[in-house]
A and B are shown apart, each in its own frame.
Chain A
Amino acid sequence: DQQVKQNSPSLSVQEGRISILNCDYTNSMFDYFLWYKKYPAEGPTFLISISSIKDKNEDGRFTVFLNKSAKHLSLHIVPSQPGDSAVYFCAAIRAQKLVFGQGTRLTINP
């Protein structure tokens, strides 16, 4: 039972444009949502998070939007840079544990 889903395995975006990564969840009891970024041969690193009582959180080029009625969150990266090429994992916190999505591989093209 995949409680957190990232339905797009990959996404290709031109440098300078906006990257939008999507995540859906099924459990309305999730308290917080996080995005992690992972480069090859490295562990995931925390990127940005949002509480379930908010609908937007911004940190520099990264903004996360939460639509609770649709059980959907998205990560916007503006403008996209070559260093943003990585795998992005959406995760949710429930009962003091992280539940991860499958990941989306983002490729930024020059």
Chain B
Amino acid sequence: NAGVTQTPKFQVLKTGQSMTLQCAQDMNHNSMYWYRQDPGMGLRLIYYSASEGTTDKGEVPNGYNVSRLNKREFSLRLESAAPSQTSVYFCASSEALVSSDQETQYFGPGTRLLVL
């Protein structure tokens, strides 16, 4: 079991370029999430998918789009990257949306994105 995998590990973009961050999980989880982590800010939820075919906005969705391609894969797209999107991006998955401390979220290793 690889758990949650993310590609790429590191990316440098110029302002205005687009890119897609890929995430896949092999735990047969229903719910998947995208977070960003900035210094001094903790992890903030960008978008999430409660189940295959559904996506919803989190706390900081502006400038991003997502696609739940199938049960395994959840991608995050930056259509026109901005320096403010420089961050570390984490994908996570869980059996279901967290309604108690029994539904643990499992995180990928992160993608470090630098927008110049």
Contact = CB atoms under 8 A, between A and B. Distances in A.
Given A42-B109, A46-B105, A97-B58, A4 B42 contact: yes
A100 B43 contact: yes
- The size class of the interface chain B forms with chain A is 20 to 34
A100 B105 CA distance: 13
Given A50-B101, A96-B98, A98-B105, A89 B40 contact: no
Could you tell me the dominant secondary structure of chain B's interface residues?
loop
B92 to A, nearest CB: 7
B99 A93 contact: yes
Nearest to A9: B40
- The size class of the interface chain A forms with chain B is 20 to 34
A85 interface: no
Interface of A: 4, 6, 9, 31-34, 41-46, 49-51, 89, 93, 96-98, 100-103
20 contacts: A33-B101, A42-B109, A42-B110, A43-B107, A43-B108, A44-B107, A46-B106, A50-B101, A89-B42, A93-B98, A93-B100, A96-B98, A97-B48, A97-B58, A97-B97, A98-B98, A98-B105, A100-B42, A102-B41, A103-B42
Nearest to B96: A96
B110 A98 contact: no
